[in-house]
Chains A and B, each alone.
Chain A
Amino acid sequence: MSRILITGIGAFSAIGDNVAANRQALISGQSGIRTLSNFPSRYAGSLPCGEITHSTDELKQSSGVDDPGVTRTSLIALQALREAIADAGLTPEQLRSSDTALINASTVGGMCLTDELYHDANNDGLAGSPFLSSYDNASVTLFLAQHLRIGGIQNTINTACSSSANAILYGARLLRHGFARRVIVGGADSLAKFTINGFKALHILSPAPCTPFDAQRTGLNLGEAGAYLVLEREEDCHDKKRYAHCAGYGNSNDSYHPSSISDEGEGPFLCMQRALEAAQLAAGDIDAINAHGTATENNDETESRAMIRHFGTPPPFLSTKAYTGHTLGAAGALEAVFSILQLQYQESYPALRFNEPIVSTGLIPSASYRSLPVTHIMSNSFGFGGNCSSLIFSAV
């Protein structure tokens, strides 16, 4: 079976407008969690987020999009997607071809327009807004495919916070089955009143910048981002640049509670196990882990337990959500990009704001920037609805 190679990456988050800027911030330990500046919410001053500082109008201008129905989520996605496509050197002809697929993930879609949606959905006598077909998750995918004229299979996946990990997994399977020769996979989400208030109502938003895996952690920060990867079969890659290969993936359901993970991390344990099996690797082969690490009380402890069950003493790990916030539907792809950077540059990034380990598990994330030999790296994503996914990327 031909290997699935990553031939292009793109990322746009609170810590950088492109992959290089994101890596610089990770190396220098520079967090993107800050007070909201261009987002109208009563929590703008009190709940820090991983906000992309460019306004929606600026994004429209910089991307040259004047479609009145375009949303912030789509604009963030477009910038990251363009970077990945250019990086992989995909030509317009290749994009148009019916064997180029786009598998996108989003959980917010156009619901970043919370107020516009309110008026349209309640049909309160005003004329419809320009956003009538822009609210759902698929609207982002449809916009991207139309704008960049992508000719093959399109799909949108929503498994909450593991959405874009599943987009990667699904894209890899399309390649294996021959339904596409190249797939662009990833996800995007923007900050929305909808999610801020949702997570606030669940009492899992931190009033301070988050502290993943710390005993005193007080919850997560939301973030916004877009991140995309181009996957191609090795036999089609010839002399192309190749970052890594997608060695394994696993998907499981925790089957415990709609919005929290079981005490022993059964779902996280199972998806990691399935990813290891698919990659034909033993736990001891994994050199580094990009943890889901939302910094909620529930996640970090249960994820730690699941890691201990597999690894005993886990390899160097950290959660980059301390840098970017939890970017929901983009997180799986964004952190896949970060994992691939670790592989490419053989390095590990500093965990931010970590002071003391969780008493019951005692795990300590990577402390500082350093070089680290990495052949296999695992990236985890867990979501509401019990949706857990784990990906393994390996050096080529």
Chain B
Amino acid sequence: MYIHYHNCIFPQQTALPGGLVTLLPADGNQLKAIEPSYDGVPPGLLRRMGKAVRMGTGTALPLLKDLRPDGIIIGTANGGMEDCIRFLNQIIDYDEGMLTPGNFVQSTPNAIAGQLGLMTRNQCYNITHVHRGLSFEQALLDAAMLSMEHPHRNYLVGAVDEIADYNYNIDLLGGWYKKHPQENKDLYEANSPGSIAGEGAVMLVVNGQPEEAVARLRAIRSWHGTNPEDARTNIEAFLQQYTDGNIPLLITGENGDNRLLPYYETCEKLLPGSAVGRFKHMSGEYPTAAGIALWLTCRLFEGEALPHHFYKKGKENTAGPVLIYNTYKGEQHSLILLSKK
């Protein structure tokens, strides 16, 4: 599968080349997306959209101006969490009284793909993968299968999740965010459990055609389980099956949570010659954050130098393959291998 176009809305400046050089700070352990003005979306419609739907459609629509994809495939763990809990609060606060359905309809995770189908009058394949920290990876696998079935057709693949106070609270109670104030520029120095919250949307247009592609998805693998040995076995098997061991750049999902560091260190040790990059100080942690790593790889392949703060070790300077390893809460893991051609 080949990636041809990409777009991203996340907590850093994405519009201009070099916009990533200045790291924008987190506020209250949350990194919130920098949303554009969403020109072209009718204001009435925009007002009714929750943030996830807004970010998702706002990231996709610029890619769909002159292109009609034959499928809309979205990965999102929660979809419109804010609408979901707003409706929930109505139920409890008004003791199941007379409620308005707007939040309920917007709260279903398939609202992003559904809204995109509606706004672009697209009646093709339309699906939403919600497998928590592997939602985006499953969307990619779906698109990869479609690209093999119909190499000449274009597909839109997306990764979207939002921070709402509510999922922030639930994951805070679960111990997944830091209890003390944490600046994102020092995220990896904290040596404590938990990360900082993030959000974002990444959209890609893919097909089975190599001509003029930005990147090629060479392989993807996912697994479940907290055993670090499983991680080692899976990474080793993946490297053996799909690479010659030469991976100039490894991007990991390191997120400042010292409980997850051993997984990433395992991967780094298996690739001692690779430069290592990290991105969650830019995006924060969220279930479909691996999409950001993929989007950064596309920018790199297009010739943009990634900022100094991205690199943990060394600096990538060839067009060789890029490996992305991400784990969500140590329970869900994925490897994504990309190359320029």
B113 — nearest CB in chain A belongs to which residue?
A385
Give the residue of A135, A156, A387 whose beta carbon is less than 8 angstroms from that of B170: A135
Instruction: Please give, as numbers and ranges, the residues of chain B lying within 8 Å of A154 by CB-CB distance.
Output: 131, 134, 222, 224
The CA-CA distance from A115 to B85 in the complex, in Å, is 11
Identify which of residues 308-337 in chain A touch chain B, using a CB-to-CB cut-off of 8 Å: none
Instruction: Please give, as numbers and ranges, the residues of chain B lying within 8 Å of A133 by CB-CB distance.
Output: 174
Assess whether B125 is interfacial by the CB under 8 Å rule.
yes
Query: Provided the pairs A154-B134, A156-B129 are in contact, do residues A386 and B141 lie with their beta carbons within 8 angstroms?
Result: no
CB proximity of B311 to chain A, nearest CB, Å: 32
The CA-CA distance from A122 to B79 in the complex, in Å, is 18
Quick check: A385 and B111 within 8 Å, CB to CB?
yes
Quick check: A41 and B96 within 8 Å, CB to CB?
yes
Provide the B102-121 mask, 1 if CB < 8 A to any CB of A, else 0. Answer: 00111111110111011011
The CA-CA distance from A45 to B115 in the complex, in Å, is 35
Instruction: Please give, as numbers and ranges, the residues of chain B lying within 8 Å of A253 by CB-CB distance.
Output: 72, 113-114, 117-118, 122-126
Provide the B54-79 mask, 1 if CB < 8 A to any CB of A, else 0. Answer: 00000000000000000010000111
Provide the B262-288 mask, 1 if CB < 8 A to any CB of A, else 0. Answer: 000000000000000000000000000
Give the residue of B114, B145, B148 whose beta carbon is less than 8 angstroms from that of A387: B114
The CA-CA distance from A122 to B16 in the complex, in Å, is 38
CB proximity of A183 to chain B, nearest CB, Å: 13
Query: Provided the pairs A158-B110, A251-B127, A255-B123 are in contact, do residues A136 and B132 lie with their beta carbons within 8 angstroms?
Result: yes
Quick check: B77 and A386 within 8 Å, CB to CB?
no
The CA-CA distance from A170 to B139 in the complex, in Å, is 11
Tally of contact residues, B, Cβ under 8 A: 63
The CA-CA distance from A154 to B132 in the complex, in Å, is 11
The CA-CA distance from A59 to B73 in the complex, in Å, is 35
B109 — nearest CB in chain A belongs to which residue?
A158
CB proximity of B28 to chain A, nearest CB, Å: 14
Assess whether A159 is interfacial by the CB under 8 Å rule.
yes
Instruction: Please give, as numbers and ranges, the residues of chain A lying within 8 Å of B88 by CB-CB distance.
Output: 111, 114, 117-118, 121, 194
The CA-CA distance from A29 to B102 in the complex, in Å, is 37
CB proximity of A357 to chain B, nearest CB, Å: 28
Tally of contact residues, A, Cβ under 8 A: 65
CB proximity of A277 to chain B, nearest CB, Å: 13
Quick check: B130 and A156 within 8 Å, CB to CB?
yes
A203 — nearest CB in chain B belongs to which residue?
B101
- Stretch of A18-26, A219-227, A256-264, A291-299 at the chain-chain interface: A256-264
Quick check: A385 and B108 within 8 Å, CB to CB?
yes
Assess whether A284 is interfacial by the CB under 8 Å rule.
no
Instruction: Please give, as numbers and ranges, the residues of chain A lying within 8 Å of B142 by CB-CB distance.
Output: 170, 173
Instruction: Please give, as numbers and ranges, the residues of chain A lying within 8 Å of B125 by CB-CB distance.
Output: 251-253
Assess whether A39 is interfacial by the CB under 8 Å rule.
no
Quick check: A155 and B138 within 8 Å, CB to CB?
yes
Query: Provided the pairs A157-B128, A166-B127, A202-B101 are in contact, do residues A123 and B108 lie with their beta carbons within 8 angstroms?
Result: no
Instruction: Mark A residues whose CB is within 8 Å of B.
Output: 41-43, 107, 111, 114-115, 117-118, 120-123, 127-128, 132-133, 135-139, 141-142, 145-146, 153-160, 166, 170, 173-174, 177, 179, 193-194, 196-198, 200-202, 251-259, 266-267, 270, 383-387
Across the A-B interface, the 5 shortest Cβ-Cβ residue pairs? A385-B114, A128-B173, A198-B104, A121-B166, A253-B117
Instruction: Mark B residues whose CB is within 8 Å of A.
Output: 72, 77-79, 84-85, 87-92, 95-96, 98-101, 104-111, 113-115, 117-118, 120-132, 134-135, 138, 141-142, 145, 148, 165-167, 169-174, 222, 224, 331
